[in-house]
Structure 1
Amino acid sequence: MAETLEIVALGDSLTAGYGLPDGQGFVPQLQAWLDDNGVDATVVNAGVSGDTTAGGLARLNWALSDGTDAMIVALGGNDLLRGLPPEASRANLDAILSTVVGERALPVLLIGLEAPGNYGPDFKADFDAMYPELAREYGTLHETSFLGPLVAEVDMATARKRYVQPDGVHPNAEGVRLIVEAFGPRVAELVARVATN
């Protein structure tokens, strides 16, 4: 029987499951989706609330183990909240992917975010572009926005009421369910890439 694969989810509070009861965060709901869909993989929660791309890079070697088979990288939200320069965020993500893809030869799903307009059009353009450009450069799987599934069928105001916690930032359990439904097939694709790597 094939060995269960290990996927490390490197991220921030969105990955960690901030504000949610046990079992309702992104990683446990994703694990349940994989189990229900017959995908033989274990997801390790390496999400740390408040982490920036720099923080993710700093603990990358701690997050990766010899048994890691693939990685989900979902960082950048706290860089956005702090208005950090997109070129700094990009350099950190580049360094993460250089290690994971370049040195370890592990498949990656890179999950981006979309910048709001309040930092100006140049900031938004640079921030939004870094995820698809890095995904192409490193040949990773890519999803445009962690929070994108929340507004796939309703407007932002409705999504905030239905799917976001009172802090206005983090998805509630139902919001996480939508995110996992959208990204589950991509994670299954990520697992399939391990076999061909």
Structure 2
Amino acid sequence: MALVLALAPGTALAEPLRLVALGDSLTQGYGLPQEQGLVPQLQGWLRAVGHDVIVINAGVSGDTTAGGLSRLDWTLADRPDAMIVALGGNDLLRGIDPAASRANLDAILSRLETKEVPAMLVGLSAAGNFGPEFQQAFEAMYPDLAATYDAVLYPDLLAPITARYRAGEDLGDLMQEDGLHPSAAGVEEIVEAWGPAVSSWLRTIEASEE
């Protein structure tokens, strides 16, 4: 005998929230087995605390803010319910003028606002390699743009690693041999620190859709 589940008129099965992570190699999971990358670990963490969410990996290794902007429409074609914007690391490594990076992120957030896609902007801390003015301009663009577009801000994706670096502690267990990309253990620490902020943001989105 077949078991038939009848839905009341107007009732639909809830679908998982589709969260796109637009980023570079840090998002893409460079140098790690797929299941140990940032997106799978974040998805697992969010599901473990009760979110019905699919985190879609839109990270491209080597991408700058300009690259992220250039593929934004293609990414939006996936019809996300929300988007994490985690770009700027390669701009920083290449010493790209922060004014150009700011303009690209501004255009991304403006487009998301137009499309009514909630955004979380994820920043990075900058070392002083290119001078204090560069450092200040780079770090300031994230909170400035988040405030302009009412986006949720997470100031530093690499916060646990940054904290240990500034404390003069060894980073060997958290970083891959290239010294640029986190190891699986490093990603785990990043997600443990970042997860609560993402979870809180998603709960506001989920509540608004009820």
TM-score by length of 1: 0.94
Partner of 2:10: none
Mapped contact 1:150–1:159 kept (Cα < 8 A): no
Tell me which structure has the larger Cα radius of gyration: 2
Counterparts in 2 of 1:187 and 1:175: CA distance versus 1, 3 Å: same
Pair 1:131 & 2:142 matched = yes
Unaligned runs of 5+ in 2: 1-12
43, 47, 52: which one aligns with 1:31 = 43
Aligned-residue sequence identity (percent) comes to 56
Partner of 2:3: none
155, 164, 170: which one aligns with 2:181 = 170
Mapped contact 2:18–2:81 kept (Cα < 8 A): yes
Pair 1:8 & 2:41 matched = no
Partner of 2:133: 122
Higher relative contact order (CA 8 A, sep 6+): 1
CA distance in 1, matches of 2:181, 2:103: 25
Residues 102-151 of structure 1: per-residue CA shift (max 9 Å, x gap): x1111111110111101011111100100011011111111111111224
82, 90, 104: which one aligns with 2:102 = 90
Count of residues in Structure 1 that have an aligned counterpart in Structure 2: 196
CA distance in 1, matches of 2:165, 2:52: 33
Amino acid corresponding to residue 123 of structure 2 in structure 1: G
Q: Could you say which structure has the higher helix fraction?
A: 1
Unaligned runs of 5+ in 1: none
CA RMSD of aligned residues (A): 1.5
Partner of 2:160: 149
57, 82, 93: which one aligns with 1:45 = 57
Counterparts in 2 of 1:105 and 1:53: CA distance versus 1, 3 Å: same
Counterparts in 2 of 1:154 and 1:126: CA distance versus 1, 3 Å: closer
